[in-house]
Amino acid sequence: MIIDLTSGGKMLRPAFFLLFSEFGNEKRSNDDLIPLAASLEILHVATLIHDDVIDDSPMRRAQPTIHTRYGRRNAIYAGDYLFTIYFELISRHLDANADILRNALSMKRILIGELDQMLINFNVNATTDMYLKEISGKTAELFSLSATMGAAVSYGSQEVVTRCKEIGYDIGMAFQIIDDILDFSNSAQIGKPVHEDLKNGVYSLPYILGLESKNEKLIALLSQDNLTTEDINAATNIVVDDGYLNQAKDIAQGYTQHAINEIKKLPVNKSQKVLLAVVKRLINRIK
Amino acid sequence: MIIDLTSGGKMLRPAFFLLFSEFGNEKRSNDDLIPLAASLEILHVATLIHDDVIDDSPMRRAQPTIHTRYGRRNAIYAGDYLFTIYFELISRHLDANADILRNALSMKRILIGELDQMLINFNVNATTDMYLKEISGKTAELFSLSATMGAAVSYGSQEVVTRCKEIGYDIGMAFQIIDDILDFSNSAQIGKPVHEDLKNGVYSLPYILGLESKNEKLIALLSQDNLTTEDINAATNIVVDDGYLNQAKDIAQGYTQHAINEIKKLPVNKSQKVLLAVVKRLINRIK
């Protein structure tokens, strides 16, 4: 079985880890930095493999998923196996037990986030809080872990480590919300008979804002058993016309703005500039 | 979701861990011993939950399995979650990174063992070596880990730790082979229309010994697509009459005898006596 970690992944988590490793008090050797950066992508891929089994997703990154190619048994064990590789790498390359502990705790929150996802699916009473809690576990915790681990491994001060943790979290939250918004906009623009997620009862933030505002028409549409393309188009129009899409954009901007403010307080160096540029480009995608 | 770790489990791995923790040079506090003992049962339960999802087993320890009660999604994430609890506990209560690393490596072997299992299923060319490799990952590695961790956590000498590792491994191998033999004997004795495993292409050691000896009749019987009760009874009779059951017993005895020899070389104390008694009772079950 071959799991090609390089197939289409953007390696965002390793990249953030390496950027944040520049804010510590000591420059660490690549002998430690590279395996730790890799461990974060491995942890990410492990969760994706299990997610794909659970959702029975046929494709990921334009390739057939592991369980499609090798069966569910191999996919579940492959995910488990990658978890152990993750722990092996961090136990070999992080110094303090405290760091490993922090990692285990963070991974715990990631998995709790996955479980929370169920609370939202097919639930027209889903709230923004539930959504934010879900993407917190699904995305933000791992971004936060990447940033924290980067700052901690290079012996950043407690203040810097805490700041990096927050920045990573905010970037992760913004990243996921913006991804949702782009999915929404793409589907709406090119008139795809899509919003596959919607059919599967997976509501992204713009819809949830409408549901939470007790928008009667939207609730009626989404409460139906089998959504037609017309239903989906009607729901999409409500979300745009009644301002829920813009509300979602404002929430994303709240996270990026907070991240930018905190990045500016970090030690001034090249990584700081890169981070500011990355976050600005992120939010500009939905402007 | 409630995962009742106490429901019917025999807590063998924690028990072995605690016994082996008596062979070190320093008595450790229960504040560390009890969480570490628990971590081994948690790791065991995590693998069982994933195994049950994969095999779609409805029952475990006379209770409905987790995925039967809470769905596959929750079961997979619950297993993942328990893996993280395991790592959290060992990173909190083991001193050296070296220990944690050894643990991660051992867990890796456990998972490789699970993947090897596929090589045997529905394979009338399965060999004893394949079987032993499979149960090594499935059972012996975790027993070995329990023994090693016990000796290491109480600062046993390198010689003692290595010996405990071997003893744990041998006990685990014997335990699984004897379990297989007892399953076989029970099914044969009470004439159950069983050997469910056989129908599912899962061959235990007595059958594999027959297949490996190129027993024509047995191969012909097991190569059929749908096994009838008569087929299974005929296969069972071959395994008993042609001596394959006794061969399997001899292999189990080889492991327990080696374990007994090595236990006798351990520091003389009450745990040594208990271990000797446990291993003798284990092998007496199939005499």
Mean pLDDT of A57-70: 86
Banded model confidence at residue B102, pLDDT cuts 50, 70, 90? low
Instruction: Write down the pLDDT at residue A203.
Output: 85
**Stronger pLDDT, A85 or A143, i.e. the higher one:** A143
Residue B17 pLDDT: 95
Taking residues A57-83, report their average pLDDT: 86
Q: Kindly report the CA angle at A182 between A138 and A235, in degrees rounded to 5? A: 95
Determine the pLDDT at residue B186: 75
Q: What is the dihedral of CA A183, A46, A171, A60, to 10 degrees?
A: -20
The whole-angstrom separation of Cα A258 and Cα A278 is 14
Residue A11 exposed, middle or buried by CB count within 10 Å (0-12, 13-18, 19+) = middle
Residue percentage of chain A with pLDDT more than 90: 44
Q: Do A88 and B105 touch (CB under 8 A)?
A: yes
CA distance A52 to chain B (A): 10
Q: Exposed, middle or buried: residue A189 (CB in 10 Å: 0-12, 13-18, 19+)?
A: exposed
Chain B, 47 to 66: residues with Cβ < 8 Å from chain A are 47, 50, 53-54
Beta bridge partners of A63: A60
pLDDT above 70 for A125: yes
The residue-averaged pLDDT of B216-231 equals: 88
Residue A119 confidence (pLDDT) above 70: no
Q: What is the spatial distance between Cα B84 and Cα B265, in angstroms, rounded to a whole number?
A: 36
- CA B126 vs. chain centroid, Å, equals 19
Q: Quick one: pLDDT at residue A168?
A: 96
pLDDT at residue B202 greater than cutoff 80: no
Q: Give residue A198's pLDDT.
A: 75
A138 secondary structure, DSSP code: I
Task: Note the pLDDT of residue B90.
Answer: 80
pLDDT, averaged across chain A: 85
Looking at residue A108, what is its pLDDT? 66
Please tell me if residue A70 touches chain B, with a CB cutoff of 8 Å. Answer: no
Identify the residue among A53, A83, A92, A145 best suited for mutation to test binding to B, counting B beta carbons within 10 A and taking the highest: A83
Categorize the per-residue pLDDT at B128 as very low, low, confident or very high, splitting at 50, 70 and 90: very high
Instruction: Give the residue among B281, B158, A139, B40 at the shortest CA–CA distance from B48.
Output: B40
> Does the pLDDT at position B191 exceed 90?
no
pLDDT in tens, B204-222: 899 999 999 999 999 999 8
Which residue in the set B53, B84, B104 is minimally distant from A76, CB to CB? B53
pLDDT at A194 over 90: no
In this complex, do A87 and B104 lie within 8 Å of one another by their Cβ atoms? yes
Asked if the C-beta of B237 comes within 8 angstroms of chain A's C-beta atoms, the answer is no
Looking at the DSSP bridge assignments, the partners of residue B64 are: B59
**Confidence tier at A97 by pLDDT (50, 70, 90):** very low
pLDDT band at residue B62 using 50, 70 and 90 as cut-offs = confident
Outline where chain A has alpha helix (H). 12-20, 30-55, 66-93, 97-120, 128-135, 141-153, 158-189, 196-199, 205-212, 216-222, 229-241, 244-263, 270-284
Residue B6 has pLDDT above 90, yes or no: no
Site from B50, B67, B97, B103 to mutate, A interface, most A CB atoms within 10 angstroms? B97
Question: For A7, left (φ over 0), alpha (ψ -120 to 50), or beta?
Answer: beta
Residue B158 CA to residue A26 CA, distance in Å, equals 35
DSSP state of A56: T
Instruction: State yes or no: pLDDT of B224 exceeds 80.
Output: yes
Mean of per-residue pLDDT scores for chain B? 85
d(CA B62, CA B53): 16
Task: Say whether residue A240 is in contact with chain B using an 8 A CB cutoff.
Answer: no
Question: Looking at residues B254-277, what average pLDDT do you find?
Answer: 97
Q: Model confidence over B38-60: pLDDT tens digits?
A: 999 998 999 889 888 888 888 88
Ranked by mean pLDDT, the top range of A60-64, B10-14, B123-127 is B10-14
Buried-exposed string A50-72: b where 16+ CB fall within 10 A, e elsewhere? bbbbbeeeeebeeeebbbbebeb
Residue A193 has pLDDT above 50, yes or no: no
B109 pLDDT exceeds 70? Answer: no
For residue B228, is pLDDT > 60? yes
Complex confidence, ipTM: 0.71
Which domains does chain B carry?
A: 12-284 (1.10.600.10)
Tell me what the mean pLDDT of segment B242-255 comes to.
Answer: 96
State what percent of residues in chain B have pLDDT above 90.
44
CA-based nearest distance B195→chain A, Å: 22
What pLDDT does B88 receive?
Answer: 78
